[in-house]
Chains A and B, each alone.
Chain A
Amino acid sequence: MSVVGGTAGETPAVPPSPLHAAATHRDAAAHRRVLQVLRRSESGVWRWAGRIAVMLPLTALVFVLAVLAVKAAPAIRVNGWNFLTGSTWNAGSGYGGVTHTDGVAHPIGAEYGAWPLIAGTLQTSAIAVIIALLISVGCAFALTERLPRWISRPLGFAVELLAGIPSVVIGLWGILTFGPFLAAHVYPIIADHMPDVPVLSYFRNPVGHGEGLLTGGLVLALMIVPIISSTTADLFRQVPRLPKEGGEALGMTDFEVANRITVPWVRSGIIGATALGLGRALGETMAVAMIAGSIFQVAPNIYSPMSTIAATIVSKLDGAQTDGTGFAVATFAELGLILAVISVVVNLAARGIVHRTSRLGGPVGRGA
């Protein structure tokens, strides 16, 4: 290119001649050939870029799990099954000396059982998903079916904006404003009226100071509402008008139309969106670390302080590094591995449900 262009550029002042015309013709032909070669290689480049891009996420997942497993290996060997069921979290004292178990060095007195953290992770996520799902479906329904466009558009935008607020900011709001408000004005009302029967007794006094399981779950719900509601609203917009109008013609109320036609129509999509939200709730770290109370226990009631896997990793990893034997860090890798496995299992389960429900077929006249 540059050589050919160079000869043309050297004679700009010379008036056009037949020779020059021939030269430009040759140039154009060369240019075309180069373009052809580029185009051919371009498709190859694209193909390979695509192949690499599609492999990257899978490779990253396998890599992360493999590295976690390797790093966690000494901890898995020493902690054993007790790590899943035990409720002791004692780093041991590095000042007290080092001992060996199965050839793995660790501080004397080190004993780890992560059950309260596993339970806490599942509890906060369950609360978050139940509440967020109810709010999101209601929100999506209002945005797509009930509200006039001039309200629903800015409202929908505001809901999606919520997803962009950093979790540390939400955590700060939760610990300074939301938690204390709930503990002072909302929780006492719930706690005072709950009968002392199984399940509901979990909601009885004392209500604490606003840092705990329920506050954590509620804040998590707030964080995943945008994920679920924006997807659900998009899904609702895709439900054709005809079956809904048919339902109305048959004398169904608005609620019945929503309950029997709109929601079942997109059920698998809602489950998929919920799985996304659940994934976020399971792994959310900063907000939970700030408002869950960070106490290592299975919450004795729903207001009690507790902690989750992710929150514990972020708040205790610094200290784990002071364990010169590296055993504490290995234990945290094991904790991370458990969280990764929980996330993968949850996602696979959601996928299975989506697969099953999407085969069931819709209600009246699906695909009309």
Chain B
Amino acid sequence: MTRISRAKRLVPAVIGGAALTLAVALPAGAASVKLPKSGVETPSSGTVSETGSSLLYPLFNLWVAGYNQTYSQLTVQTASTGSGTGITDASNGTADVGASDAYLSTSELQATPTLENIPLAISAQIVEYNVPGVTAHLKLSGKLLAQIYQGKVTTWSNSAIAKLNPTVKLPTLPIVTLHRADSSGDTFLFTSYLSKATPSGWGSSISYNTTVSWPNVSGALAETGNSGMVAGCKATPGCVAYVGISYLTQVLQAAQGYAALQNASGQYVLPSQGSIAAEAASFANKTPANGTISLIYGPAKQGYPIINYEYGIVNSKQSTTSTAKNVRSVLEWAVNPTLGNSATYLAQVNFQPLPTKVEAGSIKQILKVK
């Protein structure tokens, strides 16, 4: 809201100084794009294509339906292809918008320096488990999960787990660790959490990435996609797995539990609207202009420790001005707190809206697309 009112205030000034601004700006060849009062530029007829993250895909489809209610002249095609393909397609121009759960890596930015990663919404990750007889939310810490995924804690009745969960009766069941077989933003988030919780352990040996060299753990399984993780965990008593929060409904349907995770302040916190928003707020002032920041293991006392920005990957140099305008229009609509970032859309996939400050930053990034 603040952004729109600021834009309103700016309008007279912009009109007043138009002649001067044009005289200065035009020779440089880059007429600056200005946000209209509505907060969303009106698109011309055409097509905008989106590919990438399977986590963002359901939300993007909801967004497209809502967007087309107002702007039916623009067709938006969506495809769930995985973050890697999304980034590649956006950088070589196959797709106009790539969706990714992870921000761009140094090497990707070196390959295509004109790529922008624009925060569109806030997601979180849950750690689920299938332990028969356990109905309470287990408390798990990053240190403990790192030990489990390194094969140092191998049964659910292990004293390390029992110490954190004194009231829960744990069975003597082997732990089966699940990780993603495909390269995934979720793996990036989970390994970031393990790295930050144990900088000298997991952080120095395995570190974080969209694929990592997983330690050999007896019985460990790898699954493809979030749905593969949920299905695999359902079929495997004793499993522990990490999935995006948009799959929470499926996890609950499969009658599996999810953990309260230890945050940097030592609190055990369940993923909820409040805890995710608290964590997001603690990063709002730190988010740089290019949107590149990890939101893992933040300082918020009641914050849930694994959250992330869902990014739209866009090449700031588009082939035509009309494509650029259409891409801007879709993204402006998506991050707008009364439109795409409202609970109408986000609540359906358990996502949270961007903090106001971050949304203003996203708009600045969107307006760079030309």
Contacts and interface: CB of A to CB of B under 8 A. Distances in A.
Partners in one complex: yes
Interface of A: 88-98, 105, 107, 175-176, 180, 206, 208-209, 211, 289-290, 293-297, 305, 307, 315-326
Nearest to A300: B218
Given A316-B182, A318-B82, A324-B107, A209 B207 contact: no
Q: Is the interface of B mostly helix, strand, loop or mixed?
A: loop
Contact of B81 (A316, A318, A323): A318
A334 B209 CA distance: 22
A210 B83 CA distance: 29
28 contacts: A91-B183, A91-B209, A93-B105, A95-B105, A175-B231, A175-B235, A209-B176, A289-B181, A290-B224, A293-B222, A294-B223, A295-B220, A305-B220, A305-B222, A315-B224, A316-B181, A316-B182, A318-B82, A318-B182, A318-B183, A319-B182, A320-B183, A321-B87, A322-B87, A322-B183, A323-B107, A324-B105, A324-B109
B221 A305 contact: yes
A296 B79 CA distance: 29
A294 B84 CA distance: 19
Contacts of A290: 224
Contacts of A321: 84-85, 87-88
Interface string B88-113: 10000000000000100111111110
Given A319-B84, A322-B108, A324-B105, A294 B219 contact: no
B350 interface: no
B210 interface: yes
B234 to A, nearest CB: 10
Contacts of B224: 289-290, 294, 315
Interface residues of B, number: 40
B351 interface: no
Contacts of B184: 319
A316 B179 CA distance: 13
B256 to A, nearest CB: 16
Contacts of A175: 231, 235
Contacts of B182: 315-316, 318-319
A325 B211 contact: no
A295 B106 contact: no
Sorted nearest first, the 6 A-B pairs with minimum C-beta distance are: A319-B183, A94-B105, A324-B107, A294-B181, A324-B111, A294-B222
Contacts of B107: 94, 97-98, 105, 107, 323-325
Among A296, A324, A325, find the residue whose CB has the most chain B CB atoms closer than 10 A. Answer: A324
Contacts of B81: 318
A1 B163 CA distance: 96
A107 B105 CA distance: 10
B202 interface: no
A95 B236 contact: no
Given A96-B207, A307-B181, A316-B182, 10 more contacts: A90-B213, A93-B208, A94-B105, A94-B209, A180-B235, A206-B218, A315-B182, A316-B211, A318-B82, A318-B85
B84 A209 contact: no
Contacts of B112: 324
B70 interface: no
Given A319-B184, A322-B87, A88 B213 contact: yes
Nearest to A92: B209
Contacts of B220: 295, 305
B216 interface: yes
Contacts of A322: 83-84, 87-88, 102, 105, 108, 183, 210
Nearest to B207: A93
Contact of A89 (B213, B218, B219, B223): B213
Contacts of A95: 105-106, 208-209
Contacts of A323: 107-108
A181 B97 CA distance: 44
Nearest to B239: A209
A290 B218 CA distance: 19
A138 B167 CA distance: 59
Among A180, A293, A326, find the residue whose CB has the most chain B CB atoms closer than 10 A. Answer: A293
B99 to A, nearest CB: 13
Contacts of B222: 293-295, 305
Contact of A97 (B88, B106, B207): B106
A297 to B, nearest CB: 6
A124 to B, nearest CB: 16
A101 to B, nearest CB: 14
A96 B236 CA distance: 35
B82 A319 contact: yes
A300 to B, nearest CB: 8
B327 to A, nearest CB: 21
Interface string B210-246: 1111101011111110000001000110000000000
A161 to B, nearest CB: 27
B84 A320 contact: yes
Nearest to A327: B107
A315 B223 CA distance: 10
B173 to A, nearest CB: 13
A297 B87 contact: no
A279 to B, nearest CB: 25
Nearest to B191: A93
A323 B105 CA distance: 8
A339 to B, nearest CB: 18
A312 to B, nearest CB: 9
Contacts of A97: 106-107
Interface string B44-72: 00000000000000000000000000000
A271 to B, nearest CB: 35
Contacts of B236: 209
Contacts of A206: 218-219
Nearest to B236: A209
B235 to A, nearest CB: 6
A91 B211 contact: yes
Interface in B276-327: none
Among A92, A297, A317, A318, find the residue whose CB has the most chain B CB atoms closer than 10 A. Answer: A318
Interface string B6-41: 000000000000000000000000000000000000
A22 to B, nearest CB: 64
Nearest to A312: B181
Contacts of A297: 216
Interface string B235-270: 110000000000000000000000000000000000
Interface in B171-212: 176, 181-184, 207-212
